[in-house]
Amino acid sequence: MAQKRPRPVKTRNGIPLTRDEYRQLKRQKEREDRRKRQEAWEAARGPLDLPFLLLAMMLLAIGLIMLLSASFPAAQSSSNLKNDGLYYFKRQTAFAGLGLFAMFWVSKINYERFRGLARLGIIVSFVLLILVMIPGPNRYGRLLALGENGAARWLGIPGTSLTFQPSEVAKLGVIVYFAESISKKREKMKSFKEGFLPHVVLLAAITLLTLVEPHFSGAILIFGIGAAMMVVGGIHWGWIAAGAGSVGAAGYLVLFTDFMEKVVGYNASRIAVWRDPFAGDLNWRRDEAWQTIQSLYAIGSGGLLGVGLGKSRQKFGYLPEAQNDYIFAVVLEELGLVGGTLIMILFALLIIRGFWLAIHARDRFGSLLIVGVTTQIALQTFLNIAVVTNFMPSTGISLPFFSSGGTALAIQLVEVGIVLSVSRQIPAPKAR
Amino acid sequence: MANQSKQPPEAAVKKKKSSRLPNSARLAKLVIQRRTLALLLIFGVAAFLALFAKAYDLTIRQHDQLQDSASSQQMRSTVISASRGSILDRNGVTLAVSGSADTVFLDPRAIDNYANELDKKRAQKLVDGLKDGEKLPMSGQEYKDLLAGRLSEILGIEAQTVYDNMAKTNWQYAVLVRRVEKEVSDQIRAFIVDNETGASLQGVHLETDSKRYYPRSSLASHVIGFLDGDNHGAYGLEALYNEELEGTTGLTVTAKEAGGSEIMFQYEQYYDAEDGHTIQTTIDSTLQYYLERGLEDMTAEFGAKNGACGIMLDPKTGAILAIASTPNYDLNSPRTIYTERLQSQLAEADEENPPEDGSEHSDAYWELMGQLQNRQWRNKAVNDTYEPGSTFKILTLAMALEEGVANRNSTYYCGGSVHITGVEEPIHCSNRNGHGSQTLKEAVGHSCNPAFIKMGLDIRSATFYDYLDQFGLFEPTGVDLQGEGTSIVHKRETFVSADVYVATYSFGQTINVTPIQLIAAQAACINGGYLYQPYVVEKELDSEGNVVKQHDSTPIRQVVSEETSAMVRECLEYVVSDGGGKNGQVTGYRIGGKTGTADKTGTKTADNPRGDVVVSFLCFAPADDPQVIMLLTMDTPARQEITGVYVSGGNYVAPTASKIMADVLPYLGIAPQYDEDNQTAAEGTVPYVMDMSKDEAAAKLADYGFASYRTVGDGDTVTDQTPAGGAIVPTGAEIILYMGAEKSGEMCTVPNVEGMTADEANRTLVNAGLIMKATGASGRGAKAISQSLESGSEVTAGTVVTVQMGTMSNVAD
């Protein structure tokens, strides 16, 4: 007998469904499955890279201990800090806790999602860098910027330690944006017009902004990070050679000739100090060369095994910024060459592990993210220790995980989180 | 069918994806991997190798240098000063002692800052306007003027000096005056607190410093010495024993912050200060005083052009009891020219070379000043050599006796001169006519050159030379005094090559020795033959008085036998009692001695035909058991034409030696012994006879040896007496007893007794109402050569006048 109504193919909860209805339902289910798979894929993936995590945690722990030792005298003798010797330590610990929380949270996010943040990140970076420079009526001559140590390059809530440097944000901004942009370009990176030029222009712009802020060391770092990512991203060898050549030539002119004084008219006393900190008369030494000399005294006093943890004498007012840029001088004074070398080895291992993770990352975006973050850590570590040991002229670069600076530490930990996030998606080595 | 599409979703995705990866993407990834590896090597390895190399360089290679620099800025060392030990004489009398004194200094930088501040305040006040009764604050310049004015006034320095010091504005320590007296520092202190500014002064400070005091001024100056500006010994014992005297300065080393405050619980080290040791010398300040006074009198009388010196030794230990040299100086102000004669030379220098405008003294003045300072600091007794002349004959005598080439019974013939093989000119005796035949004693008494030349030749040069060595004449004595000189003698080969050397040495010419070398050797000749090392430091005491070091005075060696020594003493006693040294006699004592007049080689010129001489006298007492030996020398005294006295050790030096010994011997507790000859010189203690009747008094006086007395007044009892009870006067003196009458206090004029015999002098003085005490030479021909009170001076009756007796012979010795 003929039936007008289509034959039910399937029943659902006892209700017969037509083919169309069934197809509709099936499609819907498939969509849901796909979404669930996607979600599951994002939420539960491979394990965090344990070596990288452990190295970072060890450095953080040692850094906190050294910060306590190095900052105690300065904090205790500062009436601004109510003579609380633990001030810096407590603040740093709080930010470390915050940073660790952020780090684990970030490490759980699928890093591919950061792609979406790239454009926003770079725009925010520009905005912040410009914000901090807007002239205004406050006592630093700016509208919003807060000052510290004579430079107005902080933003945040005045009177609290909730401040940050836009250049710190910009570093992260550049890392994410470059990673996203370069990973999309593939072999086009080789071309001048599509690979080299846009990135160079962007990098130059953001570096110049940082430079005029003025934040010389920040500019160096941003430029270094960007350049390293471009190099890794695959720009033409010619550009690498040209870049390295011009940086080398500029370095030679600045460091080994009197180019700065004669041609630029810049007071190159830092370079003179670098050449021979002990030259010049006593007054000269008191000012420009003071920190370099004091740092060398501290390091030299350390010897092989150091004067002992907590027993630095140079931190008692001789070393300026003992808790900050010159903390590694205190490390070498207290722990000697042996202790200092161990810490340097930890840094080196962290960096090597970082680049190793970059090499093994699942995709180009992941690789480039890690290259950016690791380059930042590597550059800061190298430049900081180089300045402290007068291997290079002094610039204010802090030591990752060690130097006092809450938001900077938190941002560093977030970056570590990014690396860990990428590390989760590294395919496990095949069993076969 | 749903089952058909049952594939593991992830695997599907993966497979699909990897297969979907285009070639370009794989290539891009490869590039990233390669280039990341390069970064890994650069940042992870190369960079850290470079940093490690740099850290190694700093921590290991430059460790010491950097640590030193770091320590020097981190450590504050606070000096804890040790107090300097004293210098004492043998009886514990302080010769040098340290006390604290304040040094006044400015902080020019603080003054400048304060002055600027004042100027600023003043300017502000001028702008703001003054309130009623408010004063305009002083300006910076006014402040500086105030400081310069008052400080220069209090400290007694030029105001310009203060300005000059204030101008050193990059200094924080500019000394104005070191070690000021307490009154001055008190004034400064008061000025700092209480002054016209109405506030404490800024930039004027006092710091406690130690100052050396020499309570006896110029006494034993050449032995003690002085300190330099930094309180370190510069000369004399102060320099020689600087380390012992100074002690060890303590030190506290603490770590400090850059700001200067101390770092708690960080590196502290203490080094205790150890006070300096006290040096007890062998010098007896009383004897030293006698010696210095004697030298002063002697040079004042005979004008020693090149100074004089004297040494007094204990012959049985070598301890220097006194040692002096002229010109002298004041230890408390060693750079000031002390003696008037040298001061006038300085003044002349300025007159001859007028100082240039603005400067106080001429360059010539300063140059001379330096020379004169060196001269007054020079200890002739130790630093300089001289040809000793006849006092050296003591050694020749001792050698001859010891070698058996001379004895009590030896006789010597003197024809006035003697010819030496190989020398054309004969050597003359002081007596050109010759002494004829003489015994050994007589030869010594005559100081006969031919006799001693014979002894020298008999001893033979080689043996003679050995004896010189035995007597310690070839090396410095090692006395603990600064800058000891040593003899100039011929080499042994030269000496034994010809007779002329031993011939001239035998009477003390052509050999140069220091006085200290000579007296040490001479002491050995008379003390039983033992050579002792002369010394001045008896012991070293720590700050608690414990003896740290004690001089050991064991003899270096015995040079001659006891018998020889006894014979030498006998001969030398003969020299004083009957020979050329009569002026060296001290009444009541047995003195041995030897005079000397030595030609200074090379000083004979046309207008100085006799040439310059060094006159000297050696004496010791008592002659049979010497307790003290003394050598006096006087370099280039005034010639006979000026003094009217024949130039010889016997005439120029011996009387002074006698005067000194007359004080020294009683002081040493050696009792005088009087015989018939010199009874007039015997002394007694005047007894107390007050409230006695005349007869009782007379009896008591007689008991004490005073025979003559006279009375004034007619009372029943003695109400007063002259000399007072307890006074020591010659027993021949007349005692005046006042019987109820007021002590007249009558004044007598001292008569001139010079040139009189002892009896004449005594009579003259007694007639004048005075009491005479004779000392020096006795016997025939002895005449008064000086008196203790100047003739014509008015003194109370009964005053004792000491009269020095002497015999002036015109024979060289």
The answer to whether position A146 is within a domain reads yes
**Bigger pLDDT: A82 vs B518:** B518
Average pLDDT over residues A218-245: 91
Record the pTM.
0.62
Average pLDDT over residues A389-405: 90
Q: Which of residues 49-78 of B touch A (CB under 8 A)?
A: 50-52, 54-56, 58-60, 62-63, 65-67, 69-71, 73-74
Domain layout of chain B by residue ranges = 29-61, 87-280, 384-667, 680-806
Q: Which residue of B has its CA nearest to A40?
A: B10
The answer to whether B48 contacts chain A (CB < 8 Å) is yes
For residues B149 and B141, is the Cβ–Cβ distance under 8 A?
no
For every residue of B614-650, DSSP letters joined together read EEEEEEEESTTS-SEEEEEEEESPPPHHHHSS--SHH
Q: How many CA atoms lie within 13 A of B417 on its CB side?
A: 9
Taking the CA of residue A201 and the nearest CA in chain B, the distance in Å comes to 21
What is the domain extent for residue A116? 48-424
The answer to whether position A366 is within a domain reads yes
CB pairs under 8 A between A and B: 171
* Helix and strand totals (H; E) in chain B: 28, 31
Tokens found for residue B167: 């101008």
Distance in angstroms (rounded) separating the CA atoms of residues A109 and A103 = 10
Taking CB atoms and an 8 Å limit, are A379 and B60 in contact across chains?
no
Query: What element of type H or E holds B151?
Result: helix B140-155
Query: Nearest by CB to B55, which of A311, A363, A389?
Result: A389
Place of tokens 């034993």: B220
Distance in angstroms (rounded) separating the CA atoms of residues B249 and B418 = 66
Q: How many domains is chain A built from?
A: 1
Instruction: Enter the DSSP assignment of A114.
Output: G
Taking alpha carbons only, the member of A409, A357, A386 closest to residue B39 is A357
User: What are the strands of the beta sheet with B720-722, ordered from one edge?
Assistant: B709-712, B735-738, B720-722
The answer to whether B30 contacts chain A (CB < 8 Å) is no
Question: What value does the mean pLDDT of chain A take?
Answer: 85
Average pLDDT over residues A292-297: 88
The CATH number of domain B87-280 is 1.20.120.420 = no
Taking CB atoms and an 8 Å limit, are B35 and A304 in contact across chains?
no
pLDDT at B381: 93
pLDDT at B6: 46
How far is CA B212 from its chain centroid? 14
Cβ-based contacts of B47 with chain A (< 8 Å): 378, 382
Name the packing angle between helices A166-185 and A115-131 (round to 10°): 140
Per-residue pLDDT of B320-346, as tens digits, reads: 999 999 899 999 989 888 888 888 888
Q: Is the pLDDT score of A3 beyond 90? A: no
Taking CB atoms and an 8 Å limit, are A231 and B35 in contact across chains?
yes
Q: Which residue of B has its CA nearest to A34?
A: B9
Q: Three-state SS for A371?
A: helix
For residues B454 and B412, is the Cβ–Cβ distance under 8 A?
yes
Tokens found for residue B482: 């600064």
Strands B411-414 and B417-418, bridge-based pairing:
unpaired
Best residue in B59, B61, B171 for a mutation probing chain A (most A CBs within 10 Å): B59
The per-residue b/e assignment along B588-625, b for 16 or more CB within 10 angstroms, e otherwise, is: bbbbbbbbbbbbbeeeeeeeeeeebbbbbbbbbbbbee
CATH number listed for the domain at residues B680-806: 3.30.10.20
The answer to whether position A30 is within a domain reads no
The answer to whether B15 contacts chain A (CB < 8 Å) is no
- Phi, psi of A305, rounded to the nearest 5 degrees: -110, -5
The answer to whether B263 contacts chain A (CB < 8 Å) is yes
pLDDT at B98: 87
The answer to whether position A394 is within a domain reads yes
Distance in angstroms (rounded) separating the CA atoms of residues B360 and B347 = 12
| Continuous H helices in A44-86 | 50-76
pLDDT at A228: 93
DSSP lists the bridge partners of residue B428 as: B417
Q: Is the pLDDT score of A174 beyond 80? A: yes
For residues B273 and B80, is the Cβ–Cβ distance under 8 A?
yes
User: Per mean pLDDT, which range of A160-169, A282-291, B205-214 is the poorest?
Assistant: A282-291
pLDDT at B283: 94
Q: Is the pLDDT score of A8 beyond 80? A: no
Taking alpha carbons only, the member of B570, B649, B576 closest to residue B617 is B649
Question: What number is the ipTM of this complex?
Answer: 0.88
pLDDT at A43: 52
Taking alpha carbons only, the member of A222, A199, A195 closest to residue A209 is A222
Taking the CA of residue A84 and the nearest CA in chain B, the distance in Å comes to 16
Q: Which of residues 379-398 of B touch A (CB under 8 A)?
A: none
Cβ-based contacts of A41 with chain B (< 8 Å): 10
Question: Residue type for B750, please?
Answer: V
Between the alpha carbon of residue A98 and those of residues A103, A105, A121, B192, the distances in Å are 9, 11, 21, 61
Assign 3-class secondary structure to B152-217. HHHHCCCHHHHHHHHCCCCCCCEEEEEEECHHHHHHHHHHHHCCCCCCCCCCEEEEEEEEEECCCC
pLDDT at B610: 77
pLDDT at A52: 95
Q: Is the pLDDT score of A1 beyond 50? A: no
Instruction: Enter the DSSP assignment of B332.
Output: T
CA dihedral A412, A418, A421, A422 (to 10 degrees): -120
For residues B40 and A356, is the Cβ–Cβ distance under 8 A?
yes
Residues of chain B with pLDDT below 70 are 1-22, 259-268, 675-682, 744-745, 779-780, 811-813
Distance in angstroms (rounded) separating the CA atoms of residues A63 and A43 = 32
Count CB neighbours of A11 within 10 A: 10
Per-residue pLDDT of A255-268, as tens digits, reads: 888 777 776 666 66
Q: Is the pLDDT score of A242 beyond 80? A: yes
Q: Three-state SS for A323?
A: coil
The CA angle B274-B275-B278, to the nearest 5 degrees, is: 135
Distance in angstroms (rounded) separating the CA atoms of residues A276 and B691 = 100
Tokens found for residue B799: 């005053």
pLDDT at B285: 93
Count CB neighbours of A183 within 10 A: 23
Q: Which residue of A has its CA nearest to B46?
A: A348
Per-residue pLDDT of A41-57, as tens digits, reads: 655 467 889 999 999 99
Distance in angstroms (rounded) separating the CA atoms of residues B102 and B210 = 8
Q: Is the pLDDT score of A388 beyond 50? A: yes
For residue B172, with 0-12 CB atoms within 10 Å meaning exposed, 13-18 middle and 19 or more buried, which class applies?
Answer: middle
Radius of gyration of chain B (CA): 42
Query: Nearest by CB to A337, which of B28, B37, B56?
Result: B56
Q: Three-state SS for B177?
A: strand
Between the alpha carbon of residue A62 and those of residues A65, A338, B685, the distances in Å are 5, 15, 99
Tokens found for residue A248: 């080398």
Q: Which CATH superfamily is domain B384-667 in?
A: DD-peptidase/beta-lactamase superfamily (3.40.710.10)
Cβ-based contacts of B29 with chain A (< 8 Å): 363-364, 367
Q: Is the pLDDT score of A323 beyond 80? A: yes
Distance in angstroms (rounded) separating the CA atoms of residues B523 and B568 = 11
Taking alpha carbons only, the member of B626, B601, B566 closest to residue B318 is B626
Q: How many CA atoms lie within 13 A of B676 on its CB side?
A: 0
